[in-house]
């Protein structure tokens, strides 16, 4: 298992997060030079630039993948962080929060040169291949539910990286714990599901903070639902209907 500092991982994500976004209640978009690096389109000066928010998000995902790759994270974890950040970023502004991740994948990842370039010292591996290890996350609409708790984690790790006392943000930790509790109760939290794996990702990263700040509230144990439990009521109903129409 790769060894890396989760604090450094979030530091890099927060840096990339500042390359573009929204201000003043979501009415003004801003962007800085670095975010345009992985866009294909030239402006009148001959420099490459992103034409809209979705293209900036696509460029940002490349930044996340490239920057976190240096920590030797397993490909599936790298993909989880990239997709988590993408969903969080799309949720920041209307109408982008209505963008389906699978549509974003088709329009901005699948045939994008930057995603399909081979990674140095990784054989034939591409950044698209890394995303594909967790492509199933692109197909679950519940991904949007993880955006707010992920936003809280970004803030908490940002404060730690500013050398601000870990324990001065317990209110935000309480908000995270409350959000996590609701996610844990969700009917989609089924054993071995993509939803369940994302819940563990958030849990692990939050628990790393608890190790540094003991007054942060602990998270409840993840409440695994067996696969059959979800369908048991439906199967039982069908069984009774069949028996009802069987000759006696």
pTM assigned to the model? 0.86
State the Cα–Cα distance between residues 133 and 126, nearest whole angstrom: 11
List the chain domain ranges: 6-139, 166-248
Closest by Cα among 61, 133, 74 to 104: 61
Give the three-class secondary structure for 143. Answer: helix
> Which alpha helices (DSSP H) does 134-226 contain, by range?
147-161, 170-185, 194-210
pLDDT band of 155, cuts 50, 70, 90? very high
Kindly report, residue by residue over 32-44, the tens digit of the pLDDT.
888 988 987 655 5
Taking residues 59-78, report their average pLDDT. Answer: 95
């Amino acid at each position: 298992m790769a060894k890396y500092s989760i604090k450094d991982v979030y530091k890099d994500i927060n840096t990339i997060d500042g390359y573009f976004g929204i201000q003043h209640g979501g009415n003004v978009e801003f962007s800085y030079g670095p975010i345009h690096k992985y866009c294909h389109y030239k402006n009148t000066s001959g420099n490459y630039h992103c034409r809209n928010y979705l293209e900036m998000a696509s460029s940002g995902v490349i930044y996340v993948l490239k920057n976190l790759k240096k920590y030797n994270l397993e490909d599936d974890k790298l993909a989880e962080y990239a997709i988590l950040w993408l969903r969080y970023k799309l949720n920041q502004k209307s109408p982008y929060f209505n963008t389906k991740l699978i549509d974003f994948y088709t329009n901005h990842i699948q045939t994008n040169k930057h995603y399909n370039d081979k990674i140095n010292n990784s054989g034939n591996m591409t950044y698209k291949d890394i995303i594909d290890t967790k492509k199933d996350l692109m197909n679950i609409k519940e991904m949007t539910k993880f955006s707010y708790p992920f936003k809280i984690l970004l803030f908490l790790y940002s404060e730690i990286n500013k050398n601000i006392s870990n324990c001065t943000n317990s209110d935000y930790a309480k908000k995270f714990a409350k959000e996590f509790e609701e996610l844990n109760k969700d009917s989609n939290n089924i054993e071995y599901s993509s939803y369940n794996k994302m819940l563990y990702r958030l849990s692990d990263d939050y628990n790393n903070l608890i190790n540094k700040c003991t007054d942060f509230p602990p998270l409840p144990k993840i409440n695994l639902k067996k696969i059959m439990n979800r369908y048991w009521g439906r199967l039982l109903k069908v069984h009774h209907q069949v028996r009802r129409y069987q000759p006696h």
